[in-house]
Amino acid sequence: MTNPFYFAHSANRCGEWHRTAEHLGAVASMAKAFLEPSEYATEAELAGFLHDLGKYGDLFQQRLRNPKQITGLDHWSCGAWVALRKHQALAAAFAIQGHHLGLRSWQELEQHAAKAIPKQLPLNLRLSEPAPDILLTRLKADGIDIPKTGCPMFNQVPEGIGDMLEIRRLFSALTDADFIDTEAHFQGDKRGKIYRQRGPELDAERALQLLLEHICVLTRNSDAPAHVNSVRQDLLAACQKSADLPLDLFTLTAPTGSGKTLAMLAFALKHAARHRLKRIILVIPYLSIIEQTADIYRSLFSAHDFGEHYILEHHSLAGLGPESVEDDAEGANEAERQRCLLAQNWDAPIVLTTSVQLLESLFSNRPSTCRKLHRMAGSVILFDEVQTLPVKLAVPTLAALSHLSEEWGSSVVFSTATQPAFEHLNEAVKKQGVPGWNPREIVQQSQTMTDRLRRVRYHWPSQGEVRDWASVAGEIAAVTQGLCIVNLKKDARAVWEILAENGTEGVYHLSTNLCPLHRKAVLKEVRRRLASGEPCRLIATQCIEAGVDVDFPAVWRAIGPLDAIIQAAGRCNREGKQHAGDVRVFIPEHEPFPPMPGYKQATKVMLELLRRVGVDKFDPYDGELIGHYYRTLYDLCDPDFQSGELLQSIREIDFPEVARRYRLIDQDSINIIVPYSEQLLCYEELSEWADSKGLSAGWIRKTRGITVSIYRPRGDAPVWNAIKPVRYFRSGSLTQDEWFIYLRSEDYHEHLGLVLPEQLHLLIA
């Protein structure tokens, strides 16, 4: 007997099947609501009605009942064809075609403009029903009348970054609605669907009042000198004043130690209240700063009944799911459900995320990554430590953010102590079809503020002077308290070992080879020793430079980019308790550089500028000097040229190629759960959990304190023999290659953290 109903999904845990008409209606309604009041909301509704049109095909219905016998079906291409041919809705067609496999290229979608759907489909799939009219007849018979869409988003071929972002925004609304309704079905009980509880709304006025009260308490209890507290108050006042300005692009240039983190939040809250914005998104380049900032924000709001979901962290260690797992062609196997349960859509009033997470999402083509994009509209987006943006990606990034400010009703703030001269790229940005890059400065007297916080003396190397690690270690040992920052983890280990072998008292090491809880313990002890005046020598990589609150009387910094040197100086005499701290910049005997985009080039620009200006006149407090450094760097590196292949892919509206070429971090990484001695019980519990249940959001959240991320080793690296992968919990056959457990406790050093094996370990009976 033929079932009179057409279903979108198989039975949930209560045995209930998901009707296609019900699913399409729910997705259409949500997608439309996500884009309102945008004029393109009705096109999102159309995409919702048509995105699973192929599920009215007989083959798909058979596949739901016999998934092993019928495989490799395409249930979306017919919907994309109908959107394009019958409704001239190009953006909806892009979204429908990509909601399982990811957004495709214009060239590929153009094939759907033909009179018939092409027989050659991606991944050698076959249509669940090759005749769209049959599917539309069944759709109408199922009680769905597709409304008129009005004016579609495009009446010609899309062009440039802005048009691609508008397509992604509609795509985001569709995929988010699809995921939510699908998850609601599979998590349903006998009463029906269970929709994920909506996040709380941003109560900006109340949150701002609490923040200002908190800052008053901090000022009252501060032991910083009066002039430091005065600068902090002036910065807060400037942020509060500028918050009344219209929605726009902004810069916030403020010296290290001026209270930028809280002042920036004050700007965002008042600005959001003034313009009735929905959320605040704080974008930070480093996980260590996110952890620190999240703790500050939670301590501020958690005690005042804002709810546990008021602040959302979204990054690789937040336990929000392995986003690399995409839908399969049919979208109904365990991998898809796993991702649906773990994916996150930023439905929270305050979101803390990384530069990689947000910026790569703006150029992505993947459903799970783009799902959150529609939430960026009507937001204040704060970028902290923006000097870390790779030069080669500056032009497309600035163009994308300019579009968000102009078209999505959002304000964007670039905050740092060393503001890059991005306005120098204004004309290059304009070429991408956006207004350009001409931000307003929130602090009008930023140079005066910087001069008031001159807290260190810089000591520069003379021409041709190089240093070996032994001489640097000797100078550090000669002071009671000192910080040395080097460019590579192997260099930090070398200096630490020299000091340790010489019996120097109070020697500590800090790098990302230490798991977060280990780093936290080291910093706690370092701060205690600094406060008590005990001997304390800390050898660290750049992980300490941005946002880590330590205050040393003397700092050594291996030569690097100017902004890195200034950030290092922010760890010296931070509270202004001395007349002046000492920052000694040196050139190592061998000049290795981290595999960060443009790091070596920026260091060479720094050295050349130092040579031309002279060590006696080189003043990193001078905003003009910083601007000259960045302009020279941009002229030399030519960001427009460097991103040429990416920009060409954008001109071709090739979503997969754009996603492939836009990468903040060139090298892939893996996450390793390590046997940190102070958390061995947690390590053992997580290992047992992984063996019995596998990968889940809860497991990832619990691992964040003992996780070390490393660049993915080459295939023959010995470390592969010391780690084991964690499997997905729903099926032992599903594998992933991002999360691993380290098996050899002897490789986790009590001071150096994870020391990877250099040769294969053999077990001998």
With cut-offs at 50, 70 and 90, classify the pLDDT of residue 733. low
Determine the Cα–Cα distance for residues 122 and 386; give it in Å rounded to an integer.
39
Q: Is residue 658 part of a domain?
A: no
Confidence (pLDDT) at 194 = 66
Q: What is the chain's length?
A: 765
Residues 431 and 302 both lie in one domain:
yes
Model confidence pLDDT, tens digit, residues 675-704 = 999 999 999 999 999 988 888 777 887 898
Residues 303 and 181 both lie in one domain:
no
Q: What's phi and psi for 612, nearest 5 deg? A: -70, -40
The residue that leads in pLDDT, 475 or 390, is 475
Residues 539 and 470 both lie in one domain:
yes
- Look up residue 278 and give its DSSP letter: -
Model confidence pLDDT, tens digit, residues 364-389 = 999 989 999 999 999 999 999 888 88
Query: In a 3-state reduction of DSSP, which class is residue 487?
Result: coil
- Look up residue 727 and give its DSSP letter: P
Please give the full DSSP string across 656-704, using - where no structure is assigned: HHHHHH--SS-S-EEEEE---GGGHHHHHHHHHHHHHT-B-HHHHHHHG
Q: What's phi and psi for 709, nearest 5 deg? A: -100, 135
What average pLDDT does this structure show over 231-253? 96
Nearest of 460, 511, 461 to residue 486 by alpha carbon: 511
Decide: residue 142, CB within 10 A, 0-12 exposed, 13-18 middle, 19+ buried: middle
188 and 109 in contact (C-beta within 8 Å)? Answer: no
Would you state the structure tokens that stand for residue 279, as one six-digit string?
Answer: 């959320």
Confidence (pLDDT) at 191 = 61
What average pLDDT does this structure show over 46-56? 96
Decide: residue 578, CB within 10 A, 0-12 exposed, 13-18 middle, 19+ buried: middle
User: Residue 724: CB partners within 8 Å, gap ≥ 6?
Assistant: 740, 741, 743
Of the candidate ranges 332-346, 506-520, 727-741, the one whose mean pLDDT is the lowest: 332-346
Residues 509 and 602 both lie in one domain:
yes
Confidence (pLDDT) at 372 = 94
Residues 230 and 129 both lie in one domain:
no
Residues 154 and 289 both lie in one domain:
no
Q: Is the pLDDT of residue 286 over 90?
A: no
Query: In a 3-state reduction of DSSP, which class is residue 642?
Result: helix
Decide: residue 717, CB within 10 A, 0-12 exposed, 13-18 middle, 19+ buried: middle
48 and 32 in contact (C-beta within 8 Å)? Answer: yes
Give the domain range for residue 686: 669-754
Q: Which of 425, 446, 467 is the last residue of a domain?
A: 446
Amino acid at 447: Q
Nearest of 722, 725, 743 to residue 734 by alpha carbon: 725
What average pLDDT does this structure show over 447-454? 89
What average pLDDT does this structure show over 169-180? 95
Q: Containing H/E element for 736?
A: none
Determine the Cα–Cα distance for residues 598 and 174; give it in Å rounded to an integer.
37
- Look up residue 438 and give its DSSP letter: -
Confidence (pLDDT) at 317 = 52
Residues 438 and 473 both lie in one domain:
no
Residues 518 and 575 both lie in one domain:
yes
Residues 439 and 500 both lie in one domain:
no
Q: Is the pLDDT of residue 335 over 50?
A: no
Core vs surface per residue 116-128: b (16+ CB within 10 A) or e: ebeeebeeebebb
Determine the Cα–Cα distance for residues 482 and 548; give it in Å rounded to an integer.
15
In DSSP terms, which residues pair with 535 in a beta bridge?
none
In DSSP terms, which residues pair with 711 in a beta bridge?
669
What average pLDDT does this structure show over 164-172? 97
pLDDT above 90: percentage of residues in the chain = 60
Q: Is residue 523 part of a domain?
A: yes
Longest dimension (CA), the chain: 91
Q: Is the pLDDT of residue 322 over 50?
A: no
pTM, to two decimals:
0.87
End-to-end CA distance of the chain: 65
Q: Is residue 25 part of a domain?
A: yes
Please give the full DSSP string across 601-635, using - where no structure is assigned: HHHHHHHHHHHHH-TTT--TT-HHHHHHHHHHHHH
Indicate the number of domains in the chain.
4
Determine the Cα–Cα distance for residues 142 and 72; give it in Å rounded to an integer.
25
Q: Is the peptide bond before 246 cis (omega within 30 degrees of 0)?
A: no
With cut-offs at 50, 70 and 90, classify the pLDDT of residue 291. confident
- C-alpha distances in Å from residue 631, one per residue of 369, 626, 638, 704: 33, 9, 10, 39
With cut-offs at 50, 70 and 90, classify the pLDDT of residue 278. very high
Q: Is residue 1 part of a domain?
A: no
Please give the full DSSP string across 237-270, using - where no structure is assigned: HHHHHHTTSPS-EEEEE--TTS-HHHHHHHHHHH
Q: Is residue 343 part of a domain?
A: no
Nearest of 370, 376, 400, 356 to residue 101 by alpha carbon: 370
Q: Which of 426, 446, 466 is the last residue of a domain?
A: 446
With cut-offs at 50, 70 and 90, classify the pLDDT of residue 251. very high
Would you state the structure tokens that stand for residue 206, as one six-digit string?
Answer: 């109340």
Q: What's phi and psi for 460, nearest 5 deg? A: -105, 150
Q: Is residue 333 part of a domain?
A: no
CATH of the domain at 498: 3.40.50.300
192 and 18 in contact (C-beta within 8 Å)? Answer: no
With cut-offs at 50, 70 and 90, classify the pLDDT of residue 341. very low
Residues 117 and 262 both lie in one domain:
no
Q: Is residue 705 part of a domain?
A: yes
With cut-offs at 50, 70 and 90, classify the pLDDT of residue 336. very low
Model confidence pLDDT, tens digit, residues 622-633 = 999 999 999 999
In DSSP terms, which residues pair with 311 in a beta bridge?
350
Q: Is residue 503 part of a domain?
A: yes
- 474 Cα distance to chain centroid: 40
Q: What's phi and psi for 376, nearest 5 deg? A: -75, -20
Model confidence pLDDT, tens digit, residues 114-166 = 666 766 677 778 899 989 999 999 999 999 999 887 788 987 889 899 999 99
Amino acid at 116: A
Residues 140 and 240 both lie in one domain:
no
Residues 80 and 149 both lie in one domain:
yes
